[in-house]
Structure 1
């Protein structure tokens, strides 16, 4: 099932950021049972010509590929979707106008202004029916907007009025800073604020996404109702596994 459909059904989904530039990472993520993986072209070492192989690997492994672009730019958003990503995650959303621009770039007309081309991977290189591809793509693509900075947090109510947003992704560190408790991502005030945001999003028919550093924190937010939970990054998870193994060996 597509990521967007799972979100619409109210499912809670869980997946890591992927920074390593190798399709095997996506295969392993799928074999491990993650629901999605965020192919990170913002902070990772990935370029779009390598990301397409990551998307292919993800689809084969049964994990939904999301591409985080490195800016709210129409050409970057379109490229991520053209290569077959099930979702695009757009960073640095701070206002309603920026949210509108991101959604417009991710949607074909009449819902947006994404450039029409059916000779791309997402359209099966023209194998998909030309009369249905564009409309179906609008229905199938998950638009994930990453609210960052105090401006974005303050403008959440306005941003949530934009149609076409599937997930509003809130960074815990940005949120903590906006509340005057920088870095205190477990603070009761932050939890209370997130619960308010979740209520606002639910009323707007939008899922809330949240970043966590470890699985224990992920479980807490799962119980509190977050739908789209992203876990650390592949490099951090690999380091932690290596580190724990070495420590266990040396302390034996």
Structure 2
């Protein structure tokens, strides 16, 4: 059996922006619905969504038959967790809060087998090898793995050039929410200081020859970041879409009934 292709990594090599959906429901059922919507990639969030390794596995299995490229975000830099996520078939891994070159190098090592890294060998227990059916997996695995590191702090911005230059780091993803808090403007990623830091980071990463991405569910923000050079942009968040659509639906009925939609209100029609 051949090593499965990494559609996200292949997409980074094309001269086109990849549009993504942030998936936070921790559900294989929801993930499969989202996988068929036409997004280039979807982020299975293991940092802020209530996902466990088995739940992430279920979502990877649910979307496997669709053209969307799954990206998994882990909760921290723990190499043992990274090993588990790779073993269940994660090919593109996003890691939060990377602030130094040393951290980036450690993450690369966690994703590669010896002698080039420290990833443990699971053999026939590992879905990524299709239970030993993928020929020469230990030698070839790195070719279809993709590491995205998140820059979302003042230290990360300061060290962006060194982080992006690390061999084995394929892309840098900017986190506007955490970055705005780190720079003293919580909840205000549009603040000029935050925007300046974002623009500088995009320029620095692109100068290093690496891809850069960002979360931008507001259309104006997304278009601005694409203009600055972003290669992949998460333009939707599933939890937010459900919340907004549900409120809008209720508001239409309230308006028709001459009322107004309020949180916690009871309705009798």
Distance 1:92 1:175 in 2: 10
Which residues in structure 2 correspond to 1:105-120 (within 5 Å)? 105-119=110-124, 120=126
Residue 127 of structure 2 corresponds to residue 121 of structure 1? yes
Q: Provide the residue aligned with 1:175 in structure 2.
A: 179
Tell me how far apart the structure 2 counterparts of residues 182 and 53 of structure 1 sit (CA, whole Å): 34
Number of aligned residue pairs: 250
Q: Which has the larger radius of gyration?
A: 2
> Partner of 1:92: helix, strand, or coil?
coil
Moved runs in structure 1, 4+ residues, more than 4 A?
177-182
Identify which of 83, 97, 106 aligns with 1:101: 106
Partner residue of 1:247?
A: 251
Q: CA RMSD in A?
A: 2.0
Cα distance change, pair 204–134 in 1 and its aligned pair in 2 (3 A)? farther
Q: Which residue of 2 aligns with 1:85?
A: 90
Q: Aligned equivalents of 1:78 and 1:10: distance in 2?
A: 31
Q: Who is 2:143 aligned against?
A: 139
- Note the alpha carbon deviations across 1:33-66, whole angstroms, 9 max, x for none: 1111111121111110121110011221221111
| d(CA) in 2 for partners of 1:219, 1:166 | 23
Query: Does the 8 Å CA contact 2:83/2:110 hold for their aligned counterparts?
Result: yes
CA contact (8 A) 1:153 1:178 kept: no
- Do the aligned partners of residues 64 and 197 (structure 1) sit closer, same or farther apart at CA in structure 2, a change above 3 Å counting? same
CA distance in 2, matches of 1:100, 1:207: 17
Choose the corresponding residue for 1:211, options 208, 212, 215: 215
Aligned partner of 1:165 among 145, 165, 169: 169
Alpha carbons of structure 1 residues 19 and 182: separation in structure 2 relative to 1, 3 Å: closer
Question: Residue 102 of structure 1: CA displacement?
Answer: 1.0
8 Å contact kept, 2:9–2:144: yes
Distance 1:10 1:193, change over 3 A: farther
SS state of the match for residue 93, structure 1?
coil
Q: Distance in 2 between matches of 1:207 and 1:138?
A: 17
Cα deviation, residue 110, structure 1: 3.7
Gaps spanning 5+ residues in structure 2: where?
1-5, 257-269
Q: In the aligned structure 1, how far is the partner of 2:74 from the partner of 2:234?
A: 16
Corresponding residue SS for 2:49: coil
The answer on whether the counterparts of 2:161 and 2:208 sit within 8 Å (CA) in structure 1 is no
Q: 1:215 to 1:136 in 2, by over 3 A?
A: farther
Q: Deviation digits for residues 194-248 of structure 1, max 9, x if unmatched?
A: 3332222122221111112334432332333211212453211111111112112
Distance 2:87 2:104 in 1: 20
**TM-score, structure 1 as length reference:** 0.90
Q: 1:218 to 1:249 in 2, by over 3 A?
A: farther
User: What TM-score, normalized to structure 2?
Assistant: 0.85
Q: Which residue of 2 aligns with 1:26?
A: 31
Q: Which has the higher helix share?
A: 1
Say which SS state the counterpart of residue 156 (structure 2) adopts: helix
